Amino acid sequence: MTMQSVAAGGGNNNSITLNGAEKYFGVRGHGVQALTPTTLDIKGGEMTILLGPSGCGKTTMLRMIAGLETPTAGSIEVGGANLWSNGNRNVDALKQLGMVFQEANLFPWLTIEENIALPLKLRGIDKAGRQAKAAELCKLVGISGFEKRFPKELSGGMRQRAAIARALSYDPNILLMDEPFGALDAITRDTMNGELQRIWMETGKTVVLVTHSITEAVFLASRIILLSPRPGRVQEIIDVPFERPRDSSIHKLPEFQSIVAHLRTQLEH
């Protein structure tokens, strides 16, 4: 395990940089400082996990990276491009981002294929192109054969697989995931962690994932960004060195257990 200080600097095509990015909700002095000014590099192609206690600003940081919240101060670069300029979002930077939430948020009246391909429909891709892409993505996420089914006919884990496919439909370089498996039972969650690792290894995307789960974080992460209790700040960055692909047997490794114990101590304090 190597501990690093907070790194800063530029980025390549699929990296993310926070330059003194801060988020204050409400009037300064009377509101909530969700994230203190933060300077941080999220490396392209890595699996970065945002971990921290409830209310520390994980979702706020992810939503700022997604362009869903404006920074109160500082700036955010996605693929080397500023996300905001003069109060407007940079559409080219946003195209680099796909988002997955805790709930799959599929439209119940659309088939799985139609849900997955909806972003392509909005981009003017014809039906044959949409169906071909949906079939390819269903294969990637492991739900081939369910293209014509409706969301209610799928399990929770399968719906999240479809949500990942939808986020990948327009081929963004970066996948942002907010507690994507938090609503799933423990066994399905473990399966989905393995599946996300496989999808990440097959696609080479940059993944930034928010979780409360220490073991999920250590299993998945290339790097863990540990945030402090509110007001959120980067408390520590931990490189997780285990080889890929990882399987559940890494839970037994002394080094895995030592990182988990270290993080638990940090979170308890």
Ligand X SMILES: Nc1ncnc2c1ncn2[C@@H]1O[C@H](COP(=O)(O)OP(=O)(O)OP(=O)(O)O)[C@@H](O)[C@H]1O
Q: What residues make contact with ligand X under the rule CB under 6 A?
A: 25, 32, 34, 52, 54-60, 212, 230
Element (H, E) at 15: none
Which residues make Cβ contacts (< 8 Å) with residue 119, sequence separation at least 6? 166, 169, 170
Nearer residue to ligand X within complex by CB, 15 or 60: 60
Alpha helices in the chain (DSSP H): 58-65, 91-94, 112-122, 127-141, 156-168, 186-203, 214-220, 254-268
Our CB check for ligand X shows the closer of 164 and 226 to be 226
According to DSSP, residue 87 is labeled: T
Supply the minimum distance, in Å, between the C-beta of residue 218 and ligand X: 17
Work out how close the CB of 62 gets to ligand X at its nearest, in angstroms, rounded to a whole number.
8
Q: With the CA atoms of 206, 167, 249 and 244 taken in that order, what torsion angle do they form, in degrees rounded to the nearest 10?
A: -30
Q: How far is the CB of 54 from ligand X (least distance, A)?
A: 3
Structure tokens at 22: 């801060």
Minimum CB separation from ligand X for residue 220, in Å? 17
CB of 196 to ligand X, least distance (A): 19
Considering the complex, state which of residue 63 and residue 246 has its C-beta at the smaller distance from ligand X: 63
Minimum distance between the CB of residue 236 and ligand X, rounded to whole angstroms?
Answer: 16
CB 100 within 8 A of CB 164: yes
Residue 89, SS3 per DSSP: strand
Residues in a beta bridge with 100 = 177
Q: Which is nearer to ligand X, 28 or 152 (CB)?
A: 28
Closest CB to ligand X among 2 and 54?
A: 54
Task: Compute the half-sphere exposure of residue 170: CA atoms within 13 Å on the CB side of its CA.
Answer: 17
C-alpha 167/C-alpha 153 separation (Å) is: 20
Question: Which residue number, 101 or 146, has a Cβ lying nearer to ligand X?
Answer: 101
Q: Pick from 212, 193, 175, 245: which is nearest to 51 by CA?
A: 212
Name the minimum Å distance from CB 217 to ligand X.
Answer: 13
Is 11 or 52 the residue whose CB approaches ligand X more closely? 52
Q: Determine contact, residues 171/219, Cβ cutoff 8 Å.
A: no
The tokens of 205 are what?
């995307």
